[in-house]
Amino acid sequence: MASKLKLSCDNLTFRPAELKDRLELFDELSENIYNGHDYLPLFFERWLHDTRHYMICATSEGANDSSTILALDTIGLFDDGTTVLFQALRVHPAARGKRVASRLSAYLATYVKERFPTVKRLRAVIQHHNMGSIRLHAKQGYTQLHCEAFGMAAIDAKARAVFHAGGAYRPSRQFVGKRMNMVSKEVFWQHLSSLSPDDKDRLLPSNLILSDWMPYEVSESNLHVMEQEEGMAFWVVLDTTKATLPMVGFVVSQRSQRCSGTHLFNCIRCHGNAKLAQWMTSIVCYYLHHGCSHLCLSYDQQLRDAMYKDTTIESAQQPEPDFGPVPWLVSLQDQLPYLDFAADYVGGSQTVYELVL
């Protein structure tokens, strides 16, 4: 097995990833990642050839001039080239715990400063209970910027077909003085721009939209990237009891490929209103679930905080993962019985860490 191999981690060489690396990467570094939901095998060739991603390998020289890939990390350029998001860090099983990841991260920090002078910040999105990664970034000076709850459900295609047979179920887009519509990026930007300072703080914490583990600064240019390059759809919830029809919630939806199938990601913002979150998600599921194997939800942290015995989340000490049922997700599964939240392997939150350069 790969974990029993003896590898030298003393003399590392850093180089760009190449197409010929994919078999070694997928066989050794990507195996059993995320409970079979890894995305790297499906994104590798795309990232290898686009202009926003740079994949770097850490290798070790062996006998007969052979080399072994010990780790891989990816530089993703976001926010008009002002933000680097590190994605898809992978470490060879036999090299874990030997400072390979920290040495690669240190090399990449220097690489970014020299290669991309417009970059102002480095970011990473980490599962809140991945203490090894959190400690690695804390030692490098990263601080917690944003924490958002995460939920994941498997979609049973046969049960879904039975549930929707004959068109008997069709959720209303009206809900207690609220209306939900899909809108263009231009209209979505108008609503975002018109938010009051208090509403902006609640709906746009840290001025970020988190979709498929990627944090986007809220800007007009980013909405263009999100729609045109990533295929995201924008939904707004309007308060119909007021003449100005202010936005009181929104969903950003995106389909993304994983080894286990197509995942439907949704960033849901609703002022922490559980009933509103359930209604919004049910509508998105109805219109966009076709062909998807899993539903993934990023949602207001306060809807999950009640699941912790200590609701205070300190940046330096994250709570243990809580795999208990989140009430509003239980209600959603009762409403849509083809969803199974027992498939959630994260069981907690996704946290954005940042290092300002």
Give the closest residue to 152 by CA, choosing from 43, 304, 29. Answer: 304
Reported pTM: 0.89
Q: Per-residue confidence of the chain (357 residues) as pLDDT tens digits?
A: 444 455 556 689 999 999 999 988 888 788 778 777 789 988 999 999 999 999 999 999 765 567 889 999 999 999 999 999 999 999 998 888 899 999 999 999 999 999 999 999 999 999 888 888 899 999 999 999 999 999 999 999 999 999 988 777 889 999 999 999 999 999 999 999 999 999 999 999 999 999 999 999 999 999 999 999 999 999 999 999 999 999 999 999 999 988 889 999 999 999 999 999 999 999 999 999 889 999 999 999 989 876 554 444 444 454 454 556 789 999 999 999 999 998 887 778 999 999 999
Residues in a beta bridge with 183:
234
Burial tier of 109 (Cβ tally within 10 Å: 0-12, 13-18, 19+) = middle
